[in-house]
Amino acid sequence: MNRQAEELIKFIDNSPTAFHAAAELKKQLKKAGFKELNAAHKWDLKKGEKYFVSRNDSALIAFVTGKDFLNQGLRIISSHTDSPGLKVKPDPVINSDGQYVLNTEIYGGPILNTWYDRDLSLAGKIVLKSENSFELKERLIDLNKNLAVIPNLPIHLNKDVNQKGEIDQKKGLRALLTQDLEKNNVKSNSKTDLTIKDLIAQVSDFSAAEILETELYLYPTQKAHFLGPNQEYIAAGRQDNLAMVHASLKALLMSKVEDWTQMAIFYDNEEIGSHTPQGADSPFAGDLIERIIYNLGADREDYYRIIEKSFLISADMAHAVHPNFSEEYDQNNRPLLNQGPVIKYNANLKYTTNAGTAGVLIDLMQKNNISYQIYSNRTDKRGGSTIGPIAATQLGIKSIDLGNPLLAMHSSRELGGSSDQKEMIKLMNLFFQQK
């Protein structure tokens, strides 16, 4: 099996939340010699150096300053660290007939029935007490144990489940945690003494008393792995969009200093619309670009020149043709797993691709023997969108939407092609490096 696919599997397993994905990015960037910048401090950047800056512990921008950045512009690949799932509510533990369940709410657009009857754990961020209220300590946490499950109601009590399959989002997504083993006959729906802080204290090194607040998500504990007689598939949640996060990271780490500035943007909150300080619909990337070029001695006029010479790849996964429901896809534009990167088109520019931007990548792929595919929604179907239109609008940079094909997108267990990651990394590195 190819090394890139094995590394992707490890990256996914190490990244149960966007916070952990960003932490994994930081670790690999630092190992490769990138210097972390503090956004609150004054910078002194140098040409031909490697840097990164983070926001909210869930988004990050890494870049290599170009030797002739004024005349060559930027080459940018953007992706996002978040995935659809179930977020834990504040004060989430409920006593239901002596059984303790965890109250959740939906983050993004997950396929809800895929979360049933799976071993689940908790991960995210906790905020700890400190002497200074405006300098609190924040720590990432992964309880990394089979702690909960969302059980299905038996078919005998829900006879239409296979016909309707509707989910009660108010109570049908509560995860069973434990029960009161001391009181077998408890029948109470009152507030319990068990809290989420108590639960964290039971299975970690933190005490309940030192925890001020939590930001936690459920995640399936089943590890990512290869599937198929020839290990041709990757079975794992969060491939949308950690596969593109991993690919753009690897492409940047492989790159050498060039005349142009190379940049990888890892946004958060794409799955809920990107309308956050760390999302694509924010000044995060635009402000950073201005800060970089002004720090290197450019002025406002130079900024406009650089933007006109820049190019953005919006990297997000694409829909592969489902073998059982092929009629749901466009007649000609039908990507398959393990057949190469997918260029995504939409007439209403839900994807930013146009003929000019597509031509750049098609030319790169044809010259370097990389197979590629095209995706467009069936005309009567309204597809999703990506960070591409938002980021391109914020930055004013010509752009293209690109991704690897994926089955069961937004399921808690998605299916990707194991050879596609290698080809995507190759293409992204050519984008960063090719003169």
Q: What is the CATH number of the domain that holds 193?
A: 2.30.250.10
**Residue 180 confidence (pLDDT) above 50:** yes
Instruction: Spell out the long-range contacts of 150-155 with Cβ–Cβ below 8 A and sequence spacing 24 or more.
Output: 150/115, 150/116, 150/117, 150/118, 150/120, 150/174, 150/175, 150/176, 151/116, 151/117, 151/176, 152/116, 152/117
Return the pLDDT at 206.
Answer: 92
**Lowest-pLDDT range, 147-161, 168-182, 285-299?**
168-182
Q: How confident is residue 182, by pLDDT bands cut at 50, 70 and 90?
A: low
- Does residue 196 sit in the same domain as residue 118? yes
Same domain, 119 and 78: no
Report yes or no: 340 and 370 within 8 Å, Cβ to Cβ. Answer: yes
Would the pLDDT of 192 be above 60? no
Amino acid (one-letter) located at 286: G
Across 28-132, the runs of DSSP E, i.e. the strands, are 35-36, 50-55, 59-64, 74-80, 85-96, 99-107, 120-128
Nearest to 186 by CA among 100, 312, 292: 100
- pLDDT, mean of residues 241-265: 97
- Please check whether residue 199 lies inside any domain of the structure: yes
- Cβ contacts of 278 within 8 Å, gap of 6 or more: 55, 56, 58, 59, 267, 268, 269, 284
Task: For 279-306, write each residue's pLDDT tens digit.
Answer: 999 999 999 999 999 999 999 999 999 9
- Please determine, for residue 328, whether its predicted confidence score (pLDDT) is greater than 90: yes
Q: Please indicate, yes or no, whether residues 354 and 278 belong to a single structural domain of this protein.
A: yes
Q: What is the pTM of this model?
A: 0.94
What confidence score (pLDDT) does residue 185 get? 47
Check whether residue 156 and residue 173 sit in a common domain: yes
List the structure tokens of 404.
């690897």
Q: Verify that 66 and 96 share a domain, yes or no.
A: no
Number of domains observed in the structure of the chain: 2
Give the position of tokens 């900024």: 303
Residues 279 and 203 in one domain: no
Whether residue 324 lies inside any domain: the answer is yes
Give the C-alpha separation, 63 to 47, whole Å: 11
The domain in which residue 273 lies consists of 3-83+237-433
Residues 322 and 396 in one domain: yes
**Contacts of 284-287 spanning 24+ positions with Cβ under 8 A:** 284/55, 284/59, 284/61, 285/61, 285/76, 285/78, 285/391, 285/394, 285/395, 286/394, 286/395
Domain boundary among 161, 185, 220: 220
Report pLDDT digits (tens) over 336-346.
999 999 999 99
Q: Say if residue 290 is in the same domain as residue 141.
A: no
Q: Domain check: are 255 and 403 in the same one?
A: yes
CATH code for the domain in which residue 253 is found: 3.40.630.10
Confidence band of 383 (pLDDT split at 50, 70, 90): confident
Q: Are residues 14 and 60 in the same domain?
A: yes
Residue 92 covered by a domain: yes
- The answer on 298 and 183 residing in a single domain is no
The answer as to whether 344 is a domain residue is: yes
Task: Examine residue 429 and say whether the peptide bond preceding it is cis (omega within 30 degrees of 0).
Answer: no
Q: Please indicate, yes or no, whether residues 342 and 326 belong to a single structural domain of this protein.
A: yes
Give pLDDT, residue 1: 62
Q: Is residue 228 part of a domain?
A: no
232, part of any domain: no
Q: What is the pLDDT of residue 246?
A: 98
